[in-house]
Amino acid sequence: MTIRSNRDHGQHYRPRMHCLKKMEALVVEMQDSKSGVKGTEQKLNVTSIPHVVTGQDILAWIANKMKMDAQEAQALGTMLVAYGYIYPLQDHKKLIVKPDGSFYRFQTPYFWPVQQWQVDDIDYAIYLAKRNIRKKGSLEVYEQARYNNFHKWLNPKWDFIVMQAKEQYRANKERQKADRVVFDCQERAYWIVQRPPPRAHSAMDCLDRLVDPINSEPQTYDHFRRTTIYLQQSIMRPKVKSTVSLGALVKYMTTYKNHDPFLAPCTPSNPWLTDDDTYWELNMASVDVPTKMRVERWSFSLYELLNDPRGRKDFKVFLKKEFSGENLAFWEAAEDMKWGSAASMADQAQAIFKLFLAPGAPRWINIDGRTMGLTVKGLEHPHRYVLDAAQTHVFLLMKKDTFFRYLKSPVYKDMQKKALTPQPHNFSDAQLEQNARNRKPGLDPIIIWQKAEEERKAAEAASRPVDISQIKNKLDRK
Amino acid sequence: MNRWRRSVGELQARRRQVTECEQALAALSKVTACFQQMASSLGSNTDGGGLREELAEIRAIAHRIYTGLHRRLITLLTEMEHGQEDREQVERLWVLFLSGLETFQKDLRKANSLQELFPLTQRRDRNTLIKTGSSGGSEVAARAATVQTPWVSAGEERCPDLQTQISRLDALLQEMLQRVNVPVWTVESTQEAWVEAGKEEVDDDETLEDLMQVEVVSQDSTTTGCCHHSNCRLGCILCLLT
């Protein structure tokens, strides 16, 4: 229709047609009068409705026919009921096969779950309206909620829904009583399967796909053209030998093995398990003395060092001593630009150019001529990633040279000596319960942000750009 | 004076047409409901040549009604300019007609695939019909046969067979969507929620509900899960732990 309420987001094809077809063949065999499951009659007051089967008969027949044991037969039988090919007469909400004398009946093929007949909300709305008529307003709670929902969202079609529900109800009343009972049972069972009550596991819950996987795509010229392009592109992709990639994976795992909270125990204790947040407090960004594990992690790669705020602070201290802080400053400025707001892009670009890139700038970075040319040209029309090439170059410089010097430096070695090794906690059960009771809420994110802002301002005030000329003056004066 | 009289005459004629369309819509609704009720027994043990013929007759009645109604609604909508009093009503009828046709189209498709799934050409095919416990009867067909079109149908075409009808209905729906620009969301329903329950006479249906509840084997009602398994936390329905 014009505006289909496509709450399944346009994905109509469910990849179950194959197995559903096999189920259908099985069900057809099951109800065969000669070789199928034996049927009895259901007695209701004066009438008796035929074609009722018991749970244990179903299971016995399945086990016999498919040569399975009882457990598998039970699973298959439950699947048949869950998909709606057979419905229970007692306890209609539990879609399982009970291995006793409880009654089941076969569902009419009109109500079979078939892929191409999409179950529509309008049909469900008509069913709910019919049920409302029949039960005079005493629907179940979830049905009432859905009914109200439909009245609100399907309002333009509501008149049609009510009209159709009334007509179907009247048409059904024309039938004989036994047939009416059977049809009502069938319909109810169908909707329990297709629109299950809340918190119920439904067999129909499944990924819906955009393309019907059963129908193969028509082999047109366009299809082949697209396939050829795709295959050519995949040939051109750079490939890595599996020995190389596996070697990298093994190396990664051996380095990080002891730092993974799943594989090695957290020191002092994992807060999620023991409700004790010493671990988080020891590893906060603004802590004075970091833990040994943290310091060890900094030595893995420059990326780890820079990502950890405490590590970055330490690296800055080292660089200040070496008077080569402009690389890191430039890298940080480029990061700020990448993550910054679009409005400030032009200003930031100007500031960075004046500070780092212009010839004779106070913190001039030493990058090769080609990258410098590209960056300066790009800065005429600044965008978020205009400093990307220069940033990568600077990062590589730091990684190949400064990082190793840092790891051998006294700054780092001091830090290693100072670092804490917290003792692992050993809580008894009573203490664990006490911890759980004493859980306090975490810091308000606003407070954390305010603290970070204050620290940033203090850091900016403290780290004036180290001007070579000033230091020279100082030295001269001496 | 004459112009005034003419316009009154026009108004009356239009109102007559609109009421005709409403009656036709009600008739279409009735016919499609009967079709749906009867199509639900396709493939079951009550299926047979008789049922399929009855279905074909009902289809023919529906075909007559909706082709006529389509023509009249289109003429009405193209005649009336935007803003006339009856226009809202006609738009409402249009939207309801569209939904009715779509539902009917779905039922036709289902009936088509069911008839293909359970062909009755040979005697032994009757064995494949699912035994559902119903005993059949043509009461619903009789009800559908009483439906009449509110206008005199003269010289209309014969009803095509099922496949052709489906494809023609597809084309009709497409054409309807493209030709007239009636946004669906502008139509409001005239019915309040929950009202329809009070209007229908419901007789001896309490016993029907009881009938449907076959004697439940007395179960232990203290289990919270759906089965007695200790790890089962599901509310109900499908639990593979038992």
pLDDT exceeds 70 at position B89: yes
**Cα A153 to chain center, whole Å?**
29
- Say yes or no for a CB contact (<8 Å) between A147 and B194: yes
Instruction: Answer whether A352's CB lies under 8 Å from A336's CB.
Output: no
Nearest Cβ partner for B197 among A82, A137, A157: A137
Task: Give the containing element (helix H, strand E) for A50.
Answer: strand A47-54
Task: Give the containing element (helix H, strand E) for A79.
Answer: helix A70-83
Q: Stretch A11-19: mean pLDDT, rounded? A: 58
Instruction: Answer whether A88's CB lies under 8 Å from B231's CB.
Output: no
The pLDDT tens digits of the residues spanning A395-443 come to: 999 999 899 999 999 989 999 998 888 888 888 888 888 888 888 877 7
Instruction: Answer whether A118's CB lies under 8 Å from A12's CB.
Output: yes
Instruction: Answer whether A206's CB lies under 8 Å from A14's CB.
Output: yes
Alpha helices in B131-195 (DSSP H): 139-145, 162-179
The pLDDT value given to residue A141: 87
DSSP string, B6-31: HHHHHHHHHHHHHHHHHHHHHHHHHH
Please determine, for the modelled complex, whether the ipTM score is greater than 0.90: no
CA–CA–CA angle A426, A427, A430 (5° rounding): 160
Instruction: Answer whether A97's CB lies under 8 Å from A78's CB.
Output: yes
Task: Write the CA distances from A231 to A211, A223, A225, A226, A242, integer angstroms.
Answer: 21, 12, 10, 9, 21
- Say yes or no for a CB contact (<8 Å) between A133 and B200: yes
When comparing pLDDT for A108 and B204, which is higher?
Answer: A108
- Say yes or no for a CB contact (<8 Å) between A44 and B187: no
- What are the residues facing A209 on neighbouring strands? A13
Q: How far is A207 from chain B (nearest CA, A)?
A: 18
Other C-beta atoms within 10 Å of A136: how many?
14
Q: How far is A264 from chain B (nearest CA, A)?
A: 29
The pLDDT tens digits of the residues spanning A36-73 come to: 777 777 776 667 777 788 888 888 888 888 888 888 98
When comparing pLDDT for B218 and A79, which is higher?
Answer: A79
The pLDDT tens digits of the residues spanning B106-119 come to: 999 888 888 888 88
pLDDT exceeds 80 at position B205: no
- Say yes or no for a CB contact (<8 Å) between A103 and B214: yes
The pLDDT tens digits of the residues spanning B2-51 come to: 667 767 888 888 888 888 888 999 999 999 999 998 888 888 877 778 88
Q: Stretch B168-188: mean pLDDT, rounded? A: 82
Burial A193-203 (b: 16+ CB within 10 A, else e): bbbbbeebbbb
Tell me which amino acid residue A319 is: L
Q: Which residue of A has its CA nearest to B211?
A: A44
pLDDT exceeds 50 at position A113: yes
pLDDT exceeds 60 at position B146: yes
Residue A436 CA to residue A438 CA, distance in Å, equals 5
**0.80 exceeded by pTM:** no
Instruction: Answer whether A54's CB lies under 8 Å from A65's CB.
Output: no
